[in-house]
Chains A and B, each alone.
Chain A
Amino acid sequence: MSDIKERISKICPEATFEEGDCLLVSVPEPKWYPLAKALRDDAGLRFDVLTAVCGVDWKDSIGVVYYLTSTSRSWEVIAVKVAVEDRENPMIHSVSDLWKVANFQEREVYDFFGIKFINHPDMRRFFLRNDWVGYPLRKDYDANPELNPIRLTDEINEDDSVSYVEDENGKVKAVPKKVFEEEDYVVNIGPQHPSTHGVMRFRAAVDGETVKKVDVVSGYIHRGIEKLSEGLTYPQILHFTDRMDYMSAHQNRHCVCLCIEKALGLDVPRRAQVIRVMMDELMRISSHLLSFGCTAMDLGATTAFFYGFREREMVLDIFEKTCGARMSMNYNVIGGVIADLHPDFVKDVKALIEIMPSRLKEYHKVFTGNVIAQNRLRNVGHLSKEDAVNYCITGPSGRGSNWSCDCRKKHPYAVYGELDFEEVLETGCDSFSRYMVRMREIEESCKILAQLVDNIPEGPIRAQVPKMIKLPAGRWYQQVEASRGTFGVYIESDGQKNPYRVHLQSPCFNLVGVMDLTCQGYMIADLITIGAALDFVIPDIDR
């Protein structure tokens, strides 16, 4: 870590350092872009993944905390804080040309904090309408409903975008842009559409049946979880996580619990850790089965969909017995889990593990091996490994591009470090590889369950936690491997009983960021295939 400090000081002498759960570097805004370039490109640094972009309003200043990961330095994470004092017209240089994932991330920050990113190609709001008044996540935001009534008219000028371009003298000027050309034939897909897997809207410019460009319009079910969290206590925040990616409810909640436990320095009993891991893996199986079913259905094979759901029912029954719910389980709590396992748990899990191999064979017979399915999935939606890293496509979709990015291996948490399982990788870089990674991950999850099901230790299911949970002042970032990729939580506390800022870094947000890249040149039908194989869940994007 000390060599990073040295190297950064050499590039940017003004940088100040702060130790925490990872190194935090504060740099003045004008030095940020050169430093970012060096961080990404310098041989000794190579922070090639932009893990998270969290806008924060510190009242006296406003800015962004970037979390960077270096794959070559064994996944070391550092944070870079960039703040500006101008609240009226805050501007920070965009890094969307260095890390493509920043394109949407910075649009989100602009949407909620009003920070304009210089040289960003498309500075539109991401979630809110372009006629929204104010920036909601600022601490001085006026939530008066009269300012933002429920508007009954269409958004005007939704094709208009702007780019803040800096010339050689350092002067920034706004350059208006159009999202689509005048002669583009734009097909609207969503927000109400059978295959967008939720309330997502794509606008696709097509030439005949070939897709030329895809514009993602998001925010139809945005619930403002990050804003709501700022007014709630830590145990209350947990409930939101089950309602983000509802197919990774356990993992998401596990992540927030881990982050708070890390901040409190709390030791979680081993029994709770094992239960959490088992629930995570069950959730992963359920999620991948759903993904299998939906991919099949989006391709028109409705029968395979029902086969996937038949086995998913077994997982949901296990959840129902132990957690009392089939969706939104609300099972993990700070320090452990909320209730002990149901007496049938071991028996049910064993039955599931036993049945899955034969059922997977059946899926492959009915769908994977089918010549039409193969033709529809293979060589569709090419995403190279470099692009996967640059767009921070984690999870099965990233591993389908042969990028080893499993958080369970890279930053082991709970009891994952002791388990014997393989990180599934496929080299095809296409939709078929992404699909196959999921199918093989079901086997790996079964393997993990088989190792744990007979070794659930006795003991308490949760640690003693204070009645009123207050985190010390500071900031923490925690990641877990959710069903669709690496889920991250950023918590900044000022010592109060509610957090100062919570940022939830969802994997699906990045997944939808590659829709434009992966769909170009393919057909309308492939857009659906690519969406199904990337497998994004909309509530995870619209947090």
Chain B
Amino acid sequence: MFDFGIWTSWFNNLLTGCMPGWAATLIECVVIGVLVLATYALLALFYILYERKLCAWFQCRLGPMRVGKWGLLQVFADMFKILIKELISLKGTDKFLFKLAPYLVITSSVVMLACLPWGNGLQIINYNIGIFFVLAVSSVGVLGILLAGWSSNNKYTLIGAMRSGAQMVSYELSLGLAIITIVLFAGTMNINELVWQQSNGWFIFKGHIPAIIAFIIYVIAATAETNRGPFDLPEAEHELTAGYHTEYSGIHFGFFYLAEYLNLFIVSGIASLMFLGGWMPLHIPGWDGFNAVMNWIPSIVWFLAKAFFVSYVIIWFKWTFPRVRIDQMLAFEWKYLMPFSLANLVLMAIFVALGWHF
């Protein structure tokens, strides 16, 4: 398996060889920052096209076809349009909070992106509490949404923000419990270690029944966490026009829009990390020839493919299901999903204690 660590350590040695340590670190930080932001923007563009194409095919349409071959340049055109649009400031809004909100949302999503394991040796932050840190940062995003809804001084945005707050706080529980189930199984919160533990089989296979249940719960809760259909109540366009970001224009709206797509990628990335082995190729113990062939595929391709697959499932939800109502959504979480994930946690504990796993 190719280790991207060779490249990064070569770059590190190159810098430390010709300058003091602090300068090398500074330059590395800047390079990484630029890389993360560039990846962020490119991924968001890819996701917008991905969803538009997928939804078009679900709906017997072609999707964007005019700008570039198969409409590939459509998203770039859209982004440039958003960039050159005027930022409208409205009467009666809380100017400071109104402008702060999109940055909170996008910051939280960029930080989460930085935590993902992209490939063998391609990881920026490697904490011993990595996955816990991701969960904590993801909660900052909801603050931005609440502020956006509140500061806009509009009844639609306020209702949207309140819905969003109720929804995020509720579904974070199931999301967290699903992740804890796997943490309990793996015995670590370090992202790197989580991936390496799956070298002899992904967690969804090793943990079998409780892991599969946790995966299903995770995908449902993640759909709700990213405000996507059928849980897209905070921006239910048929009720609240656009929910919390109704009053935003230009790049401020663009930030919400990008963050929404990137959050989709991030929750898919975490799903692939926790259940589908992260960047780890598909290994079946004992099949050495097969494993060698799988290793030949670069680890970053594995990671992206898994993340895109989970995203595909979530996009599929959105373009199939109608939207649930706020009371149904909360009842679903508190009456069914959360008790179920608690029971599943206990189940996993029993499985781990008795060693009923591979």
Report whether B323 and A300 are in contact in the complex, using a CB–CB cutoff of 8 Å: yes
Contact of B61 with A by CB under 8 A: yes
Task: Please measure, in the bound complex, the distance between the C-alpha atom of A301 and the C-alpha atom of B318, giving whole angstroms.
Answer: 8
Report whether A209 and B321 are in contact in the complex, using a CB–CB cutoff of 8 Å: no
| Interface residue total, chain B, C-beta cutoff 8 A | 27
Task: Please measure, in the bound complex, the distance between the C-alpha atom of A528 and the C-alpha atom of B156, giving whole angstroms.
Answer: 14
Give the residues in chain A near B321, CB-CB below 8 Å.
Answer: 300-301, 370, 372
Closest Cβ of chain B: how far from A310's Cβ, in Å? 6
From B163, which residue of chain A is reached at the shortest CB distance?
A209
From A294, which residue of chain B is reached at the shortest CB distance?
B238
Report whether A372 and B230 are in contact in the complex, using a CB–CB cutoff of 8 Å: yes
The contact of B326 among A193, A301, A525, by CB within 8 Å, is A525
Give the residues in chain A near B326, CB-CB below 8 Å.
Answer: 209, 523, 525
Report whether A306 and B327 are in contact in the complex, using a CB–CB cutoff of 8 Å: no
Contact of A367 with B by CB under 8 A: yes
Closest Cβ of chain B: how far from A425's Cβ, in Å? 25
Give the residues in chain B near A310, CB-CB below 8 Å.
Answer: 60
Do A299 and B323 contact each other (CB < 8 Å), given the known contacts A188-B155, A194-B238, A310-B60? yes
Give the residues in chain B near A372, CB-CB below 8 Å.
Answer: 230, 321-324, 328
Contact of A298 with B by CB under 8 A: yes
Contact of A524 with B by CB under 8 A: yes
Task: Please measure, in the bound complex, the distance between the C-alpha atom of A309 and the C-alpha atom of B60, giving whole angstroms.
Answer: 11
Report whether A300 and B236 are in contact in the complex, using a CB–CB cutoff of 8 Å: yes
Contact of B193 with A by CB under 8 A: no
Contact of A174 with B by CB under 8 A: no
Contact of A307 with B by CB under 8 A: yes
Contact of B239 with A by CB under 8 A: yes
Q: Mark B244-280, 1 if CB is under 8 A from A, else 0.
A: 0000000000000000000000000000000000000
Give the residues in chain B near A299, CB-CB below 8 Å.
Answer: 238, 322-323
Task: Please measure, in the bound complex, the distance between the C-alpha atom of A297 and the C-alpha atom of B321, giving whole angstroms.
Answer: 10
Contact of A453 with B by CB under 8 A: no
Residue of A298, A525, A528 contacting most chain B CB atoms (<10 Å)? A525
Give the residues in chain A near B327, CB-CB below 8 Å.
Answer: 209, 523
Report whether A524 and B239 are in contact in the complex, using a CB–CB cutoff of 8 Å: yes
Report whether B320 and A297 are in contact in the complex, using a CB–CB cutoff of 8 Å: no
Closest Cβ of chain A: how far from B216's Cβ, in Å? 16
Within 8 A of A (CB), among B316-358: 319-328
Contact of B232 with A by CB under 8 A: yes
Report whether A306 and B59 are in contact in the complex, using a CB–CB cutoff of 8 Å: yes
Task: Please measure, in the bound complex, the distance between the C-alpha atom of A193 and the C-alpha atom of B236, giving whole angstroms.
Answer: 12
Task: Please measure, in the bound complex, the distance between the C-alpha atom of A246 and the C-alpha atom of B233, giving whole angstroms.
Answer: 31
The contact of B319 among A302, A376, A524, by CB within 8 Å, is A302
Task: Please measure, in the bound complex, the distance between the C-alpha atom of A319 and the C-alpha atom of B15, giving whole angstroms.
Answer: 74
From B320, which residue of chain A is reached at the shortest CB distance?
A303
Interface of chain A, helix or strand or loop or mixed?
helix
Contact of A70 with B by CB under 8 A: no
Closest Cβ of chain A: how far from B154's Cβ, in Å? 10
Within 8 A of A (CB), among B47-69: 55, 58-61
Do A194 and B237 contact each other (CB < 8 Å), given the known contacts A301-B321, A523-B326? yes
Task: Please measure, in the bound complex, the distance between the C-alpha atom of A302 and the C-alpha atom of B321, giving whole angstroms.
Answer: 8
Contact of B16 with A by CB under 8 A: no
Report whether A301 and B320 are in contact in the complex, using a CB–CB cutoff of 8 Å: yes
Closest Cβ of chain B: how far from A377's Cβ, in Å? 9
Give the residues in chain B near A185, CB-CB below 8 Å.
Answer: 155
The contact of B325 among A194, A298, A307, A525, by CB within 8 Å, is A525
Report whether B60 and A524 are in contact in the complex, using a CB–CB cutoff of 8 Å: no
Contact of B229 with A by CB under 8 A: yes
Within 8 A of A (CB), among B156-177: 156, 159
Closest Cβ of chain B: how far from A60's Cβ, in Å? 51
Contact of B9 with A by CB under 8 A: no
From B327, which residue of chain A is reached at the shortest CB distance?
A523
Report whether A296 and B322 are in contact in the complex, using a CB–CB cutoff of 8 Å: yes
The contact of B232 among A296, A300, A370, by CB within 8 Å, is A300
Closest Cβ of chain A: how far from B225's Cβ, in Å? 18
Contact of A65 with B by CB under 8 A: no
Contact of B25 with A by CB under 8 A: no
Give the residues in chain B near A528, CB-CB below 8 Å.
Answer: 238-239
Contact of A375 with B by CB under 8 A: yes
Task: Please measure, in the bound complex, the distance between the C-alpha atom of A206 and the C-alpha atom of B239, giving whole angstroms.
Answer: 13
Residue of A188, A300, A310 contacting most chain B CB atoms (<10 Å)? A300
The contact of A376 among B58, B60, B241, B322, by CB within 8 Å, is B322
Give the residues in chain A near B323, CB-CB below 8 Å.
Answer: 299-301, 372, 376, 525
From B237, which residue of chain A is reached at the shortest CB distance?
A194
Contact of A415 with B by CB under 8 A: no
Task: Please measure, in the bound complex, the distance between the C-alpha atom of A523 and the C-alpha atom of B320, giving whole angstroms.
Answer: 23
Report whether B61 and A525 are in contact in the complex, using a CB–CB cutoff of 8 Å: no
Give the residues in chain A near B328, CB-CB below 8 Å.
Answer: 372, 375-376
Contact of A51 with B by CB under 8 A: no
Closest Cβ of chain A: how far from B211's Cβ, in Å? 25
Closest Cβ of chain A: how far from B143's Cβ, in Å? 22
Contact of A526 with B by CB under 8 A: yes
Closest Cβ of chain B: how far from A122's Cβ, in Å? 24
Do A373 and B322 contact each other (CB < 8 Å), given the known contacts A187-B155, A525-B239? yes
Task: Please measure, in the bound complex, the distance between the C-alpha atom of A344 and the C-alpha atom of B326, giving whole angstroms.
Answer: 50
Task: Please measure, in the bound complex, the distance between the C-alpha atom of A366 and the C-alpha atom of B60, giving whole angstroms.
Answer: 14
Closest Cβ of chain B: how far from A313's Cβ, in Å? 11
Contact of A286 with B by CB under 8 A: no
Task: Please measure, in the bound complex, the distance between the C-alpha atom of A524 and the C-alpha atom of B158, giving whole angstroms.
Answer: 13
The contact of A366 among B159, B229, B238, B320, by CB within 8 Å, is B320
From B321, which residue of chain A is reached at the shortest CB distance?
A372
Report whether B60 and A307 are in contact in the complex, using a CB–CB cutoff of 8 Å: yes
Give the residues in chain B near A163, CB-CB below 8 Å.
Answer: none
Task: Please measure, in the bound complex, the distance between the C-alpha atom of A526 and the C-alpha atom of B326, giving whole angstroms.
Answer: 10
Task: Please measure, in the bound complex, the distance between the C-alpha atom of A495 and the C-alpha atom of B199, giving whole angstroms.
Answer: 93
Give the residues in chain A near B58, CB-CB below 8 Å.
Answer: 303
Contact of A483 with B by CB under 8 A: no
Closest Cβ of chain A: how far from B323's Cβ, in Å? 3
Closest 9 CB pairs of A and B: A300-B323, A299-B322, A306-B59, A301-B322, A195-B238, A525-B325, A300-B322, A373-B322, A298-B238
22 contacts between A and B (CB under 8 A): A187-B159, A193-B241, A194-B238, A195-B238, A299-B323, A300-B230, A300-B238, A300-B321, A300-B323, A301-B322, A302-B319, A306-B61, A307-B59, A310-B60, A372-B230, A372-B322, A372-B323, A376-B324, A523-B325, A523-B326, A525-B326, A526-B325
Known: A303-B58, A527-B239. 17 other contacts (CB 8 A): A185-B155, A194-B238, A195-B239, A299-B323, A300-B323, A301-B321, A302-B319, A303-B55, A306-B59, A307-B59, A307-B60, A366-B320, A370-B321, A372-B323, A376-B325, A524-B159, A525-B239
Interface residues of A (CB under 8 A from B): 185, 187-188, 193-195, 209, 296-303, 306-307, 310, 366-367, 370, 372-373, 375-376, 523-528
Interface residues of B (CB under 8 A from A): 55, 58-61, 155-156, 159, 229-230, 232-233, 236-239, 241, 319-328
